[in-house]
């Protein structure tokens, strides 16, 4: 546990350092990309070590609020790193790395966890991954939408100018939606094995909104690959779909709240 704590602390400090370098790059336009990515790789690796210690139990997976948020931040940072293999999207880390720096340490402050068997735990991991990737896609959609509108009006701020070009932002958005759609599909399919009675388990709201969100993503991807839907349409579909995805979770939590009150 001590080793994982040091890993988390060093990962947090490296995320903060990467954030500082990114801000410096935005302000000065200095070529710091390779240095930033190298630091991010080390931070993500150390973050993974600390996460493994807080998630893995004996024949079970331990889930809690702290390590759940930490996992989401790790996924976002990792996906950002992967997108940098074929295009320069490192500037987006200015929004992700500071959050990762904070959430890396959360599992050691919020230690309340719930053990789940590997089968159910794997389903939860896939679901969290889907929510995380689609959340990242939605953030990307919002940034793209603002950037594109400000570009038309010639009102780009220093931060918006530092973002990747619109074509790269759009391409990244589509890639995130495709990856997230795959994870969401697996999450829905794997969830079928744990449903015994939709009404008794209070899963009607969650299932309805999750399927509705999946359908909207599917309609957009079909339109994109067959009719070339892109740009603001891609952003709008992503935002609407993620709204329903959030409702699938919030709706279920509200049902449980009213049932217990």
Strand order across the 56-57 sheet: 56-57, 60-64, 113-117
Query: In terms of pLDDT, which residue wins out, 21 or 64?
Result: 21
Cβ pair 55, 71 in contact under 8 A: yes
Please check whether residues 98 and 168 belong to one and the same domain. Answer: no
Q: Does residue 5 register a pLDDT over 70? A: yes
- DSSP, collapsed to helix, strand or coil, labels residue 100 as helix
Please check whether residues 194 and 135 belong to one and the same domain. Answer: yes
Which residues constitute the domain of residue 151? 115-261
Over range 1-9, report the average pLDDT: 74
Please check whether residues 125 and 99 belong to one and the same domain. Answer: no
Please check whether residues 147 and 239 belong to one and the same domain. Answer: yes
Please check whether residues 242 and 135 belong to one and the same domain. Answer: yes
Q: Does residue 14 register a pLDDT over 90? A: yes
Please check whether residues 87 and 140 belong to one and the same domain. Answer: no
Please check whether residues 253 and 124 belong to one and the same domain. Answer: yes
Opening angle at CA 228, ends 226 and 232, nearest 5:
135
Q: Does residue 213 register a pLDDT over 80? A: yes
Please check whether residues 32 and 104 belong to one and the same domain. Answer: yes
Alpha helices in 114-230, H assignment, sequence order = 118-153, 158-162, 166-191, 204-227
Reported as a single tens digit per residue, the pLDDT across 151-202 is 887 777 777 777 778 888 888 889 889 999 999 998 888 877 655 444 434 4
CA separation for the pair 177, 168 (Å, rounded): 14
Reported as a single tens digit per residue, the pLDDT across 92-109 is 888 889 989 998 888 777
Instruction: Examine the fold and report which residue of 81, 111, 141 is the final residue of a domain before the chain moves on.
Output: 111
Instruction: Examine the fold and report which residue of 85, 111, 137 is the final residue of a domain before the chain moves on.
Output: 111
Please check whether residues 95 and 121 belong to one and the same domain. Answer: no
DSSP state of 116: E
**pLDDT of res. 63:** 75
Please give the tally of structural domains in the chain: 2
Reported as a single tens digit per residue, the pLDDT across 140-151 is 888 888 888 888
**pLDDT of res. 217:** 94
Please check whether residues 107 and 215 belong to one and the same domain. Answer: no
Instruction: Examine the fold and report which residue of 111, 140, 174 is the final residue of a domain before the chain moves on.
Output: 111
Rounded to two decimals, what is the model's pTM? 0.76
Angle in degrees, 0-180, between the axes of helices 204-227 and 166-191, rounded to the nearest 10: 140
CA separation for the pair 73, 127 (Å, rounded): 15
Reported as a single tens digit per residue, the pLDDT across 24-83 is 887 887 778 889 889 999 999 999 988 888 877 677 777 777 777 888 889 888 888 887
Please check whether residues 90 and 137 belong to one and the same domain. Answer: no
> What confidence category does residue 249 fall into, taking pLDDT thresholds of 50, 70 and 90?
low
**pLDDT of res. 221:** 94
Over range 106-132, report the average pLDDT: 77
In this structure, what token pair is assigned to residue 182? 């795959």
Please check whether residues 26 and 59 belong to one and the same domain. Answer: yes
């Amino acid at each position: 546990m001590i080793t994982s704590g040091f890993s988390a602390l060093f990962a947090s400090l490296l995320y903060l350092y990467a954030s500082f370098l990114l801000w410096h790059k935005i302000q000065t336009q200095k070529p710091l990309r390779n240095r930033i990515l190298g630091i991010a790789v080390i931070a993500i690796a150390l973050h993974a070590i600390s996460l493994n210690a807080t998630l893995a139990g004996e024949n079970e997976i331990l889930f809690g609020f702290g390590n759940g948020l930490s996992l989401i931040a790790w996924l976002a940072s990792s996906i950002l790193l992967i997108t940098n293999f074929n295009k320069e999207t490192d500037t987006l880390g200015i929004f992700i790395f500071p959050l990762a720096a904070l959430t890396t340490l959360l599992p050691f402050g919020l230690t309340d966890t719930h053990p789940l068997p590997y089968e159910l735990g794997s389903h939860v991991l896939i679901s969290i991954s889907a929510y995380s990737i689609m959340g990242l896609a939605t953030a990307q959609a919002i940034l793209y939408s603002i950037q594109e509108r400000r570009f038309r009006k010639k009102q780009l701020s220093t931060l918006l100018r530092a973002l990747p070009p619109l074509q790269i932002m759009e391409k990244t958005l589509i890639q995130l939606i495709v990856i997230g759609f795959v994870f969401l599909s697996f999450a829905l399919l794997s969830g079928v094995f744990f449903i015994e009675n939709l009404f008794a388990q209070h899963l009607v709201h969650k299932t309805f909104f999750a399927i509705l969100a999946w359908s909207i993503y599917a309609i957009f991807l079909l339109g994109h690959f067959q009719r070339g839907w892109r740009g603001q349409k891609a952003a709008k579909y992503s935002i609407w779909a993620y709204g329903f995805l959030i409702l699938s979770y919030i709706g279920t939590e509200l049902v449980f709240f009213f049932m217990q009150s």
